[in-house]
């Protein structure tokens, strides 16, 4: 492991919805960190060798039998500790204090008054008050031996605590949340207490990744499924930088791409970066399998299965490949190891997850430690053009789940043209980078219209634009009426087969971002 990881913070997850935010804030301050479940073994924590440990919040009560606990090693290592919400309550109880139900629960913004000077509140004045984000029903009722209160809120007299001698701290509120006015300063102070100087940056990390790829792959061949999305694109470019022509990229055109994507991928990777690339035209094959299929789950499963078959056939032509490259990112890893319990399947996800077992290939996943915004930053570091780096999310099944009902060449081409207009106009209005996603959906709903002196009976196009941070929740974008009018006019005038345009004003939840 490179020296770039010499300063590391460990975040132990007790199931909080905000745990990833803690990691993002720490990374933003150029300190490397990882999230591990609170059930992680003592040996793994020792091997990680953190400079400091943050205990996250969580939905449980420390007073409940079977509530999550941290390994004893977090206290034995002697490194600075910061407990947040549940993390504070766990620290207090584990070290001899008492936790109980608060007489009044605190949710949302609350004022916290600084009661005493502390390294955690460096830069704050004793007596000053600042707004923070609370989300708790329990509170610390009695401090453990050796602790003192350093901040209070109306419902939590012990809203922040510190050990008088050891670098152990706890806060009842969530400094990682944007609504905590000076939360970043508090986290920055904890990083300073932990001896972190903020040396982690993408330029150095990219060199580390290149070294790791070379060490893992050696002289072996790597194949990569290139979709054109930012994750697979950065993966391919990074691996090519590390091992050159040992990488073989495969791009499958399944006929469900957006306008110009196939040409764009070829221009960027084959022509500009000279990455070995095989483009497979499988449009007829996929549409044949999807003929007459209208159920979205069946569409997804057919596309996923067929993709594996096409990719497998192409990989065999490469010959003697030992590795499969995947654009797995850190949120994927966190979800797979999180303390959180199982969640309901909303919809199946199309990816190449079934390939390694089928093909007996070792995985190369260089982005598995990065968040999406860090992947984009790495892409820029590698010289990737902005239209790829800032590409909006696009589902694996492509237009198949935006073209509701049966799929035909004609309907897909209609949707492709309408979608291109939506994206063109959003970009022209300067909103592309401000909107999480903006796209068109073709509905199998016909209505009467009139164009010139003729009656039409054509399909409906829905425009979907949402604002989000991580796609877990989303709100519909308040696009200017003039922009909506322009998109509607252009689609009806320029795209044959559409005579009506509607705008989707549903949030997630209760809706999802995609229609299927």
Among 41-55, 315-329, 345-359, the range scoring the smallest mean pLDDT is 345-359
- Asked whether residue 56 carries a pLDDT value surpassing 80, the answer given is yes
In CATH, the number for domain 401-503 is: 3.30.300.10
Give ranges for CATH 3.30.300.10 in the chain. Answer: 401-503
Chain centroid to Cα 334, Å, comes to: 10
229 labelled ligand-binding: yes
Radius of gyration of the chain from its Cα atoms, rounded to whole angstroms? 26
413's tokens: 């081409």
Which position has the token pair 């902005």?
A: 386
Q: 136 versus 422: which is more confidently predicted?
A: 422
Tokens of 327: 């654009």
**Structure-block tokens of residue 245:** 């022509």
Query: Which positions are catalytic?
Result: 85, 174, 176
- The answer, yes or no, to whether residue 341 has pLDDT greater than 50, is no
Residues of the chain with CATH 3.40.50.620: 202-389
Residue 319: strand, helix, or coil = coil
Alpha helices in 281-437 (DSSP H): 283-290, 296-318, 330-337, 355-359, 372-381, 386-389, 409-428
Calculate mean pLDDT across residues 311-335.
Answer: 83
The CB-based long-range contact list for 61-67 (8 Å cut-off, 24+ gap) reads 61/137, 61/138, 62/86, 62/89, 62/90, 62/93, 62/99, 62/138, 63/99, 63/100, 63/138
pLDDT at 470: 65
Residue 146 marked ligand-binding: no
Segments of the chain assigned to CATH 3.40.50.880: 3-193
pLDDT in tens, 209-231: 999 999 999 999 999 988 878 89
The rounded mean pLDDT for the chain is 89
Provide the pLDDT confidence category of residue 340 given band limits of 50, 70 and 90.
very low
pLDDT number for residue 1: 38
- How many C-beta neighbours within 10 Å does residue 414 have? 22
Name the CATH code of domain 202-389 (choices 3.40.50.720, 3.40.50.620, 3.30.2020.10, 3.40.50.300). Answer: 3.40.50.620
Give the mean pLDDT of 84-113: 86
pTM: 0.75
232 annotated as ligand-binding = yes
> What CATH number does domain 3-193 carry, 3.40.50.880, 3.40.50.150, 3.30.1360.120, 3.30.160.20?
3.40.50.880
Please write down the long-range contacts of 428-435, taking CB distance under 8 Å and 24 or more positions apart.
429/480, 429/483, 431/477, 431/479, 431/483, 432/390, 432/392, 433/390, 434/467, 435/392, 435/465, 435/466, 435/467, 435/477
> Is 233 within any annotated ligand binding site?
yes
Dist. CA 5–CA 49, nearest whole Å? 10
Per-residue pLDDT of 417-452, as tens digits, reads 999 999 999 999 999 989 999 999 999 999 998 877
Complete DSSP assignment for 438-466: EEEEEEEEEEEEEETTEEEEEEEEEEEEE
Is 228 labeled as ligand-binding? yes
């Amino acid at each position: 492991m490179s020296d770039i990881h010499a300063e590391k913070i460990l975040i132990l997850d007790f199931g909080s919805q905000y745990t990833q935010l803690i990691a993002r804030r720490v990374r933003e301050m150029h300190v490397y960190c990882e999230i591990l479940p609170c059930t992680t073994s003592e040996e793994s924590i020792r091997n990680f060798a953190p400079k400091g440990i943050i205990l996250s919040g969580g939905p449980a009560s420390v007073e409940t039998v079977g509530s999550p606990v941290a390994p004893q090693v977090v206290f034995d290592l002697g490194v600075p500790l910061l407990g947040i919400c549940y993390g504070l309550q766990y620290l207090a109880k584990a070290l001899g204090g008492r936790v109980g139900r608060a007489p009044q629960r605190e949710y949302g913004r609350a004022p916290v008054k600084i009661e005493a000077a502390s390294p955690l509140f460096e830069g704050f004045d004793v007596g000053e008050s600042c707004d923070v984000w609370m989300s708790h029903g329990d509170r610390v009722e009695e401090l453990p031996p050796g602790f003192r209160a350093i901040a209070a809120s109306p419902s939590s007299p012990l809203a922040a605590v510190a050990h008088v001698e050891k670098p152990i701290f706890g806060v009842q509120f969530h400094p990682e949340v944007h609504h905590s006015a000076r939360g970043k300063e508090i986290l920055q102070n904890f990083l300073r207490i932990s001896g972190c100087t903020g040396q982690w940056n993408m330029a150095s990390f990219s060199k580390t990744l290149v070294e790791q790829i070379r060490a893992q792959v050696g002289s072996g061949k790597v194949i990569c499924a290139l979709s054109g999305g930012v994750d697979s694109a950065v993966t391919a470019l990074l691996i090519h930088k590390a091992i050159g022509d040992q990488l073989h990229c495969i791009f499958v055109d399944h006929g469900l791409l957006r306008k110009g994507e196939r040409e764009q991928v070829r221009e960027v990777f084959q022509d500009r970066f000279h990455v070995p690339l095989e483009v497979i035209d499988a449009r007829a094959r996929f549409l044949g399998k999807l003929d007459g299929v209208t159920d979205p789950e069946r569409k997804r499963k057919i596309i996923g299965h067929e993709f594996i078959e096409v990719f497998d056939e192409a990989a065999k032509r490469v010959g003697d490949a030992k590795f499969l490259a995947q654009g797995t990112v850190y949120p994927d890893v966190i979800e797979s190891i999180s303390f959180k319990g199982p969640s309901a399947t909303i919809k199946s996800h199309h990816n190449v997850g079934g390939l390694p077992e089928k093909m007996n290939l070792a995985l190369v996943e260089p982005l598995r430690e990065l968040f999406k915004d860090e992947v984009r930053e790495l892409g820029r570091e590698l010289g990737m053009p902005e239209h790829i780096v800032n590409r909006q999310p696009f589902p694996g099944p492509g237009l198949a789940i935006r073209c509701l009902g049966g799929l035909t060449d004609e309907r897909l081409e209609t949707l492709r043209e309408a979608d291109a207009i939506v994206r063109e106009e959003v970009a022209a209005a300067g909103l592309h980078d401000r909107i999480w996603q903006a796209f068109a959906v073709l509905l199998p709903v016909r209505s009467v219209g009139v164009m010139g002196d003729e009656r039409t009976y054509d399909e409906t196009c829905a425009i979907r634009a949402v604002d989000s941070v991580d796609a877990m929740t989303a709100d519909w974008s308040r696009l200017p009426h003039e922009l909506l009018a322009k998109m509607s006019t252009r689609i009806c005038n320029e795209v044959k087969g559409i005579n009506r345009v509607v705008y989707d004003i549903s949030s997630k939840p209760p809706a999802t971002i995609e229609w299927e």
